[in-house]
Amino acid sequence: VARVVVAGAGMAGVQTAICLRDQGFPGEIILLGAEPHQPYDRPPLSKAVLLGAADGSAFEVDFAGLRVDLRLGSRAEALRPAEREVITSDGPLPYDRLVIATGAEPVTLPGSAGLPGVHLLRTLDDANALRPVLAARHEVVVVGAGWIGAEFATAARESGCPVTVVEAADHPLAGVLPPEIAEPMRGWYEAAGARLLTGTAVAAVEPGSVVLSDGTRLTAGAVVVGIGAHPATGWLAGSGIALDEHHAVRADDRLRTSLPGIYAVGDCASFPSARYGERLLIHHWDNAVQGPRVAAANLLGGDEVYDPVPYFWSEQFGRFVQYAGHHTAADRMVLRGEPGGPAWSVCWLRDGALAALLAVGRPRDLAQGRKLIERGALLDETAVRDAAVPLKNA
Ligand code: FAD
C-alpha cells in the first residue's frame, strides 16, 4: 500500500491517520477536511467553546511531524471505485486504500435552513456564530430536547438567556430513554430556569418568532435547531458503495465497506455488533476514537473485529450523564436510586447479564458497569437495586 486517502478530518479521520503511523505504515497519508479550520474536537463546542471559556478545541496533533498531508478546505465530492479515485473539490485524487470518515450532518428544520437567526450546532463556525447570541443574552428557542438541545440550553441559561425548549415528543431524550427515566429530567430544565414545552411541534419559523402547531407564537432572538444528525454520505451517491437504511456506510465487523480497499469509521458508518445482535450506528465521540485503531490495523493486513461496548457522556444542567452499552425496549430495566434525585443509575439486563447502564452523577457505577458489560457478567437484580452496594457479578 503506497497511499491511503482519509476523507474527513474530524476525530475519526484524524485518529485514523495517527493509528496508521502508530502501527508502522510508512506510506503516504492524505487527510481531506472540508472545513477550513485546523481539525478540532466537537464535544467542547456545546460546552467550553460556546461559553467562551475556550477559544477553540483544535487537536494537538503535529500533522507535519507525522507526515500527514492535511488538505483543509478540500471536500470529497464523489467516489470512482473502478478508477480508485476520489473526486475532490481540488480535482481527482487516486488512492490505494480509502478510509471514509466524513461524520454526520445536522438535520435541518424544514423551511428554516438559511433563515437569519436560525442556528445549528455541529461545527466550530456554528459555535462561533452562537457565542454573540449568548453574550447578548438573546431570548432563544431551542428546537429539540435531545443531547445537543439540553447542552445548548444549559450554556444559554448559564449565560443568562431566557430559554424555551420545544420538543415534539412527550418527554426529553425521547429517542433514547423511556418516560420513567426521562420524565423526571423535566425538573432539570425547570431548576435551570428553562421552559420546556413537550408534545409540541414547530409549525413555522418566522423572523423573530417561532410558531407552534397549536398556534402559540414564541418570541425568538435566535432559534437553535437540535433535532438529530444523519451520516454525511451524500458524496458517495452513484459509487455503488452499500449504505444502510439510515444512509450510513454499511461496514462489516472489520470496518470494511462493500467495496475493496475501502474502510469506514465514526459517525458516518454502521457496523454489525455480535455483542448486541444488531447493526449499530453510533454518533458518539468514543466510537470515533476506538474504531480507527481497528480500521487501520485491518487496512494494514490485520484481522480485527470491532465490537465495542459503546460509551458516551453528556454534561447538562450541572449533571454528568454517562451511558455505556446498548439497550432496547425489550431489556429489563432496573433502577438504582431514584430518577429525580441528585445521583442515580439505571441498568438494563438481558437474560440476566448487564447490557447497558445510564449513570447520572455516579461515575463509579459507570466504570464498574462498563467492565461488567464487557465481560457479559450476570447480575443479581436485588443487589443492583441497592445503590449502596457496588455493581458486581452475581
Ligand atoms: P465528525 O466530527 O462529523 O467529522 C467529520 C469531518 O469530516 C468534519 O470535519 C467534516 O467537515 C468533514 N467532512 C464531511 N464531509 C466531507 C467531505 N465530503 N469531504 C471532506 N471532509 C468532509 N459525543 C459524546 O460522546 N459526548 C459529548 O459530550 C458530545 N458532545 C457533542 C457536542 C456537539 C456540539 C457535537 C456536534 C457532537 C458531540 N458529540 C459528543 C458527538 C461527537 O462529537 C461525534 O460523535 C464525533 O465528532 C464523530 O467524529 P467523526 O470524525 O466521525 O465525525
Question: Nearest C-alpha to atom 1 of ligand 1 is from which residue?
Answer: 103
Which pLDDT tens digit goes with each residue over 100-153? 999 999 999 988 888 999 999 999 999 999 999 999 999 999 999 999 999 999
Q: In what order do the strands lie in the sheet with 163-167?
A: 118-119, 222-225, 140-143, 163-167, 195-198
Q: Which of 6, 42, 90 to mutate to test the pocket of ligand 1 (most atoms within 8 A of CB)?
A: 42
Please give the grid coordinates belonging to residue 335.
433502577
- What CATH superfamily classification does 3-105+229-299 receive? FAD/NAD(P)-binding domain (3.50.50.60)
Under CATH, which number does the domain 318-385 receive? Answer: 3.30.390.30
Greatest C-alpha distance within the chain:
62
| Per-residue confidence (pLDDT) for residue 283, from 0 to 100 | 97
Task: Please tell me if the CB atom of residue 76 comes closer than 6 angstroms to any atom of ligand 1.
Answer: yes
Nearest CA among 131, 129, 126, 123 for reference residue 52: 131
Q: Are the folds of 3-105+229-299 and 108-225 the same?
A: yes
Q: How far apart are CA 122 and CA 100, in angstroms?
A: 19
3 Cα: distance to centroid of ligand 1 (angstroms):
24
| Per-residue confidence (pLDDT) for residue 111, from 0 to 100 | 86
Nearest CA among 237, 46, 67, 60 for reference residue 134: 46
4 Cα: distance to centroid of ligand 1 (angstroms):
21
| Per-residue confidence (pLDDT) for residue 323, from 0 to 100 | 98
Judge: domain 108-225, CATH 3.50.50.60: yes
| Nearest atom within ligand 1 for CA of residue 123 | 36
| Per-residue confidence (pLDDT) for residue 113, from 0 to 100 | 82
Map out the domains of the chain as residue ranges: 3-105+229-299, 108-225, 318-385
Task: Please tell me if the CB atom of residue 122 comes closer than 6 angstroms to any atom of ligand 1.
Answer: yes
Q: 319-325 and 311-316: which strand pairing?
A: antiparallel
Within 8 A by CB and 6+ apart from 159, the residues are 51, 134, 135, 137
Residues of the chain with pLDDT under 70: none
Q: Which residue has the cell 429517542?
A: 175
| Per-residue confidence (pLDDT) for residue 169, from 0 to 100 | 97
Q: How far does CA 389 lie from the centroid of its chain?
A: 32
